[in-house]
Amino acid sequence: MHASVRRGIPLLTGVHMRVVLLGPPGSGRRVLAKKLARQFGIKYINLHELLGEMAKEKTELARLIGELLAACAPVPEELVSSALAPALSEAATRKGFIIDDYPRDVGHAETLDRILRSHGMAIDVVISLDVDADDLM
C-alpha cells in the first residue's frame, strides 16, 4: 500500500476498495462517486445506468425494464440481480468499485450482499452524505 497527500486528503494506492455511496438527490453524490472512482482507479457502478443499458437491448425483458424506468416504478429484485451480478463479476471490480445510490433498502442490501459473497467479496465502506435540505441542488 502506498499513501500520498493531495490537497490535504490522504490518498491510498494499491488498496482494493469496495464502496457504497448514498445520499439524497441533489447532494452531489454521483459527481463525488465518479471523482472517487477516477482518483482511486476503481470501477464506477450506477444501477440506474446499468438498467438503462439493459433497456436498450431488443428483448422482452428490456422492454419491461424500459417501462419500469420510464414510470419511475420500483424494479423487482430479480431484475436488479440480473443487472448487478455481471457488473460485479467483471475483472475490473476485483481492484475495487464504488456503487452510487444502491442499496436503497434492506432487500437491496441483502441482494447486494448475496451477489458479492458469490464472488468472494464484501463491502469495505459505506459513505452516507448528510446534506441540509436547504443546500440540495
Q: What is the pTM of this model?
A: 0.78
Residues 29-80 have pLDDT tens digits of 899 999 999 988 889 999 889 889 988 988 888 899 899 999 988 888 888 8
For residue 22, CA distances in Å to 75, 97, 119 come to 18, 14, 23
pLDDT of residue 13: 54
Distance CA 126, CA 31 (A): 16
Domains of the chain: 15-46+76-129 (3.40.50.300)
